[in-house]
Amino acid sequence: MRLIPVWARTAVPLAWAELRQRYAGSLLGAAWAVAEPLLEVLAYVLVFGFVLRFTTGLERWRIALVVASGVLPWSALRLSLDGCARLLADNRWIRRSTVPFEPLVARQALVCAVRALAGLVLVALASVAYGARLGPAEVLLPLVALYCQTVAAYGLGLALAPLGALLPDLRPGLASALTLLTFASPVVYVEHGLPPSVLAALEWNPYTHYLRLYRLLISPEAGQVTAAGLITVLATPALCLAAGSLVKRRWLSAARDRL
């Protein structure tokens, strides 16, 4: 029995081809995969660090790292989910094909994971340049978080792809929900100084625990990792895969017929 499906072996070449095609002909090429989210980081830093002078008790360079460690992986997740929601509509040929659609979902998740990884590498290099000392845990745990995020995005994509074809209002609704989650998660702000009621609510948000692992790249204190949070991060991919597989089995055939 094969432990890895045949389609899974094509996911990485498909993701690489997608990266090359997406930025073909542009002056910066694949560097746009990092430049785009970095421009988003710059916008948040300018607003919170210079225009509004948002008080965090941190130096401006540290604010930039905190924002980058949140925005870069979050942008990757957001793009992955949005891409999966329109995946079948953008690939109508799959209606008459026997090719499984799982490689398309995996390609979307992997392309966005590469984008997030490049951003986190930049955060780590900047942290070291400013004097941070990163041990094995501070390097490995963010990578574990990114792996879990990628698997979770794939699982959610299995559900979003057929639902996006069946429900035309899903995409704008998803975009609005993800915008709300941007501020319902400590993506562009630090948890320090928040009211206790807000901190308690953030504990119920799974992505809060992902962000804490990503921020280990800044310092161990910035991460605030707990055993419960680590369990949440590790359990999320399994739950998303189970839910996505269930929705796929129930609605994929109807979605194909709708194309």
- Give the model confidence (pLDDT) of 123-173 as tens digits: 888 888 888 888 898 999 999 999 999 999 999 999 999 999 999 889 889
Q: What is the pTM of this model?
A: 0.83
Q: Token pair of 252, please?
A: 């994929």
Q: How many DSSP H helices and E strands does the chain contain? A: 11, 0
Output the pLDDT for position 205. 93
Q: Token pair of 164, please?
A: 């996006």
Answer yes or no: are the C-beta atoms of 101 and 87 closer than 8 Å. yes
Output the pLDDT for position 157. 95
Distance CA 59, CA 66 (A): 11
Q: Token pair of 53, please?
A: 């002078």
Output the pLDDT for position 107. 85
Q: In the chain, where are the structural domains located?
A: 11-21+28-258
Q: What is the pLDDT of residues 201-257, one digit of tens each?
A: 999 999 999 999 999 998 777 667 889 999 999 999 999 999 999 999 999 988 888
